[in-house]
Amino acid sequence: MINQETAEHFLNEINTIFEDEKLTLRKKLLSLRTIFRKLIIKLTESEKQYFSSVFARSVYLSDKYKFPEVLTTKVRTFTSIAERIRKDLNFECQIQHINYAYTTLIDLIKIFLSGESELIDEDKIQSLDVRIPQPKYKRTGDIIEFIRAVIIEKGQVKTYPDNSIDYMLNCESEEFGKIKLHFREPWDKLFTLCWKGAVLNIFSVKRDSQIKDTFRAGNNTIIVLEPDNLVDVTDIAECFQYKGSNCLIYFLSKLKLKSSNPAAVTGNIINYCFDDILNNKECNFDDVYENALRIKPLQIFAIASDEPAATKLIKDNVRTHFNNLKEITVNLDYDRFSIEPSFISSDYGLQGRLDVLLEFEDEINRKNIIELKSGRPPGKDLKIILNDGRFIKTGMWESNYIQAICYNLLLDSSFENRTGTSQILYSQTNDEPLRNAPNVIQKKQEAMVIRNEIVAYERQIAEGNFSIFDKFNKDEFGILPKFDENNLSAFEKFYNESEEILKVYFQNYLSFILRESQSLKHGTNGSESSKGFSSLWKDTIEDKENSYAVLSHLQLIKEESDFDNFHLIFKRTEKTPDVTSFRKGDIGVLYRIKNGNVTEPLKQQILKCSIREIGNEKIKVSLRNKQANSKLLDSEELWVIEPDYIDASTRNLFQSVYRLMLAEDSKRNIILGLKKPEFEKTVNIDNYYLNQPQKEILVKALSAKNYFLIQGPPGTGKTAYMLKALTEESYKKDNSNILLLGYTNRAVDEICIALGDIASEKIVDLKDNQFDYLRIGSKESTENDSRLIARLAETMEIRELYKLVKKTRVFVSTVTSAITNPEIFQIKKFNIAIIDEASQILEPQIAGILTLVDKFIMIGDEKQLPAVVVQNQKNAKVDIEHFNKIHLTNLSGSLFERLIRCCIANGWDNAYCMLTHQARMQELLQEFPNTRFYEGKLQIMYAKQKAPWTQFDSKSDNKIEKQLSSSRILFYESKPEDNAKVHKAEAEKVAEIVQTIFDKYGNDFNVRTVGIIAPYRAQCTEIYKFIPKHITEYVTVDTVERYQGSQRDIIIISFAINNLYELKNLQSMLELGDTKVDRKLNVAITRAKEQLILLGVADVLSYSPIFSDLISFIKTKGRYYSI
């Protein structure tokens, strides 16, 4: 059921759109479709399972709540009509379609509404003409090439005299209505693993001529479970061994702790050699080898540190492969090649990056695949057995063959009528090194069976079913590569012999990580705005523009682009949205708009990129694949950038949690909070720029043997002072290696600025006046890259860089870069890690790293915004007895926050402190957050923070300026409007205020003068509409999440809340003892240095006790106006 408040919110939206005469019929129907999607998501938000489509959600609801057949039909029909109109711009929408949609939504709400509503006019509903043609389901043809269906329930299982077993699923399809799907081996496991509400893609299925709406799988049938859940081709392939396949290999592999080893490094270098040879067949080995080492220098440095003699063996081995590859490439036939092209198939639920794609000008459908393998090749006559007992000659290992088969599926899905070969290239041999992979349907089916098992078992773990791990022993695991036997034994020992709290911790965090992955892929239960990566192919450009999730219709400026580094400059066109959620540093996928306005990202090669600059006129991006074929960019067609998602983070987080589980008992118990942190004797310091309370905290932190926690409220100098001082004092210890970590690249930039001050102020004895530190990360991570290892690798001799890495004692990195470059921990033993922004870092992101350092100091503020998590927060909360002793109540929290709780509860008062002197806010601006959130402990740092407010003229003829002069803190009361997440009057007033400030400041107005915060991107867009273009380049209008860590002289906040339903989404509540903190509000109001201006509907905001107190405070100590 839904409460009255929620129902009336939806009914208001529905009635407003239905009665809006300004909207075209098409726009009106699409708006009602959007409400339908939000309503369906709302109705399923409490379900623990994940749905990959709104249709799947609606089928699930219909079955669970036993909708009347009339309503089920109406929902299905409305969905079908809305999809047709959404995709077909020429569809003729009629008033009957609007009426039908309106009554469907009303009927749906009535099912879940407890009680009546004045907003439902039954007489009006009865008078509407809803006569539209009912959908006609496909009834012709014996072989159906494709059906997409949702499982309603499992049907009967029948065993035949020959011992074959027939399985049946009851399903529902948008095109065929309710159907029965029958299948046998090799799809038998699907019956056990599938679930109600799951989506199936079914290819080449036979219609039963005797039984209505019944379909049977045949020899050529392929069934794909949850096809929008993409599985990497290499993950499927590694599950295949010479003696068979086993999906459990995938899960064991995700737990395998990464380290640099000679075989892996050799393979990476050989792949680079192949790329270079393709680009330049006359290339020289020594040059190519040296350049290959520069790509990921830490990998070879780790080998040199562990096994110095191995580096020569690697080079000798690579030379053999290089010579073979030069001979092979001479005879390759192609007109154009692409190195490491990326493709996605939502037909088969696959994603992959090929080694090489060869194309031909005269045969545009011909596309040949080459996959390079540098390992030991099998005999060229090796045969592979099919599931019908037949053998086929392939001359390739089973895993390599399956990889080629899956690449065939990828390209067949991306390019209609594709022809061409798929070959494995074994570079170690000259005896037929290129071997063709026969395109056999049975192997495609086997690959899909394993893929489906992976998807199903991941879902089980996400929902708290961990029975799969009971098979992780040598008796039950099944087929396993010999090199993984030790990994399996280690896991079995941990899982069966550890204390129960460790096992439960491990299970719950794996479940949490996979739920987060599913949310990033498919969207969040309970959130229409968080649609997930699958929006790339499921939603239209119009849908994405409405949610500000795309930069479309971009024109490439070739003459300004740098094709050597693939830094591309795009120009906005008239159709490019003015406002987008993209920001500098975000990652994206880039693809062409074909034939004028057709956006089919999955029917072409996708280019991965990152945003370097984003302006009002131009967008600058950097392609991640520096070996991309520049001919792909020759097209005059327009381009689109959409958000990307990197699934590798799931594997990294699995390994981080598992590394903590395998850590030495004492280290693990310290991190978990089971053991009291210890301290050494008090150290002496010599610091001239910290005040006395800061010095006392510095001494405590340096005396900690295990860890120390520093709470840093806004403006207290967490990075510029405390982190810098901690680094200086730690650096004074001989041979002490220091790791400095931040959550974002911007935070790491700030750390590097602070380190630069150490050299400029000559605080410690420095050689050549340089404070030596190195930064780990990609070349795209920062523009200040003079100390970036990836950039230094381009200019320094590799031996000299190795020496520099070995002698350097301070390394700076984001947490993500530290996780993805584990080689640094093979090269260096870190005595201390200092983590900035610690309250924004999820526990599984940092826990594994902390096992690799002697001690750590965390700096953060649990009362500001927490780590970014997109899954439903209800699922992240845990109430488990084992977790009580470690104070773990929410899996989406930070380790910093949890350890603070542990210290407070256990009386470990010497393990944490709070910085109390802030230098940002004026005294009046500090007062409310200080008393409400920080127990009155904050103090101003400087006398100037008490200065009177004289920026504006109180006698001005300009009414706005007079108001601005009246106080440092103002509230403008607005009246509720009908729109959701938008408030036009507030937007107009914000623009007036900004214009007044701009006029007053004149030439002193800059990017640090004014910042505007709104809770929704829709309101950000509305505000941008009213601010003149010449001012917008100096003013950032954004959500509070994007403002954390920033500050402005003047902050303007437009709350844009029109009803109680929206109020709960405005807040991020935290309870610490008796203190209740709204973290979003805290961050928003503490960004201002000189003045804070708030706009909102006071009557609605005041339903929140915290907002009520804030408004009362402003009425008493500030100024209160009406718009």
1088-1120: burial string, b at 16+ Cβ within 10 Å, e else: bbbbbbbbbbbebbbebebbeebbebbeeebbb
Mean of pLDDT values over 103-117: 89
Question: Which pLDDT value is given to residue 796?
Answer: 95
Helices 724-731, 692-703: axis angle to 10 degrees equals: 50
Is 173 within 8 Å of 213 (Cβ atoms)? no
- pLDDT tens per residue across span 403-447: 999 999 999 999 999 999 999 999 999 999 999 999 999 999 999
> Across the chain, what does the average pLDDT equal?
93
Cα 596 to Cα 1056: distance, rounded to the nearest angstrom? 37
Mean of pLDDT values over 469-480: 96
At 503, give phi and psi (nearest 5°): -65, -45
The 3-state secondary structure of 192-225 reads HHCCCCCEEEEEEEEECCCCCCEEEEEEEEEEEE
- pLDDT tens per residue across span 530-577: 678 999 999 888 888 888 889 999 999 999 999 999 999 999 999 999
Question: Which pLDDT value is given to residue 742?
Answer: 96
Burial class of residue 740 (count of CB atoms within 10 Å of its CB; 0-12, 13-18, 19+): buried
Cα 966 to Cα 960: distance, rounded to the nearest angstrom? 10
Angle at 501 between CA 496 and CA 502, to 5 degrees: 55
pLDDT higher for 646 or 324? 324
Question: Which pLDDT value is given to residue 768?
Answer: 52
What's the number of CA atoms in the CB half-sphere (13 Å) around residue 671?
Answer: 29
Question: Which pLDDT value is given to residue 1087?
Answer: 98
| 1000 contact partners, CB below 8 Å, separation of at least 6 | 951, 952, 961
Of 352, 364, 337, residue with least CA distance to 418: 364
Question: Which pLDDT value is given to residue 919?
Answer: 96
Mean of pLDDT values over 935-939: 96
SS3 58: helix
Is 1113 within 8 Å of 926 (Cβ atoms)? no
Burial class of residue 119 (count of CB atoms within 10 Å of its CB; 0-12, 13-18, 19+): middle
Q: Which two tokens stand for residue 192?
A: 């056990």
Question: Which pLDDT value is given to residue 137?
Answer: 56
Cα 94 to Cα 25: distance, rounded to the nearest angstrom? 7
What's the number of CA atoms in the CB half-sphere (13 Å) around residue 1017?
Answer: 18
Q: How far is CA 151 from the centre of its chain?
A: 28
Cα 261 to Cα 306: distance, rounded to the nearest angstrom? 9
DSSP 8-state symbol, 1123: -
Question: Which pLDDT value is given to residue 525?
Answer: 56
Cross-strand pairs, 351: 232, 344
Beta-sheet pairing, 639-643 with 853-860: unpaired
Secondary structure (DSSP) of 954-980:
TT-S-HHHHHHHS-SEEEEE----SSS
Does the pLDDT of residue 883 top 90, yes or no? Answer: yes
Cα 25 to Cα 444: distance, rounded to the nearest angstrom? 45
Cα 413 to Cα 406: distance, rounded to the nearest angstrom? 11
Cα 712 to Cα 755: distance, rounded to the nearest angstrom? 19
Is 434 within 8 Å of 328 (Cβ atoms)? yes
Cα 395 to Cα 830: distance, rounded to the nearest angstrom? 47
Cα 962 to Cα 121: distance, rounded to the nearest angstrom? 48
- pLDDT tens per residue across span 978-1031: 888 899 999 999 999 999 999 999 999 999 999 999 999 889 989 999 999 899
Q: Which two tokens stand for residue 946?
A: 């008490």
> How many other C-beta atoms can be found within 10 angstroms of the C-beta atom of residue 598?
11
Cα 112 to Cα 62: distance, rounded to the nearest angstrom? 12
Q: Which two tokens stand for residue 522?
A: 């498919």
Does the pLDDT of residue 648 top 80, yes or no? Answer: no
Position 1109, amino acid = D
Cα 517 to Cα 521: distance, rounded to the nearest angstrom? 6
| 786 pLDDT tier (thresholds 50, 70, 90) | confident
In the block, which residue shows the tokens 């049977």?
Answer: 216
| 560 contact partners, CB below 8 Å, separation of at least 6 | 569
Cα 545 to Cα 579: distance, rounded to the nearest angstrom? 9
Cα 251 to Cα 409: distance, rounded to the nearest angstrom? 23
- pLDDT tens per residue across span 673-728: 999 999 998 888 888 899 999 999 999 999 999 999 999 999 999 999 999 999 99
Cα 290 to Cα 319: distance, rounded to the nearest angstrom? 12
Q: Which two tokens stand for residue 205?
A: 């299925």
Does the pLDDT of residue 345 top 70, yes or no? Answer: yes
Q: Which two tokens stand for residue 196?
A: 């109600």
Does the pLDDT of residue 974 top 70, yes or no? Answer: yes
Does the pLDDT of residue 1089 top 90, yes or no? Answer: yes
Q: Which two tokens stand for residue 729?
A: 């004092």
Q: Which helix (H) or strand (E) holds 701?
A: helix 692-703
| 609 contact partners, CB below 8 Å, separation of at least 6 | 568, 587, 588, 589, 590, 621, 622, 623, 624, 641, 644
Q: Which helix (H) or strand (E) holds 929?
A: helix 923-933
Task: Give percent of the chain above pLDDT 70.
Answer: 97
Q: Which two tokens stand for residue 239?
A: 């599950």
DSSP 8-state symbol, 607: E
Question: Which pLDDT value is given to residue 718?
Answer: 94
Q: Which helix (H) or strand (E) holds 1001?
A: helix 984-1001
| 943 contact partners, CB below 8 Å, separation of at least 6 | none
Question: Which pLDDT value is given to residue 119?
Answer: 81
Is 814 within 8 Å of 821 (Cβ atoms)? no
Task: Give percent of the chain above pLDDT 90.
Answer: 77
Cross-strand pairs, 154: 169
Does the pLDDT of residue 277 top 90, yes or no? Answer: yes
Is 890 within 8 Å of 512 (Cβ atoms)? no
> How many other C-beta atoms can be found within 10 angstroms of the C-beta atom of residue 21?
5
| 780 pLDDT tier (thresholds 50, 70, 90) | confident
* Radius of gyration in angstroms for the set of CA atoms belonging to the chain, rounded to a whole number: 31
DSSP 8-state symbol, 861: -
pLDDT higher for 523 or 220? 220
Angle at 1004 between CA 999 and CA 1008, to 5 degrees: 105
Domains of the chain in start order, with CATH, are 4-127 (no CATH), 226-488 (3.90.320), 535-643 (2.40.30.270), 648-915 (3.40.50.300), 923-1122 (3.40.50.300)
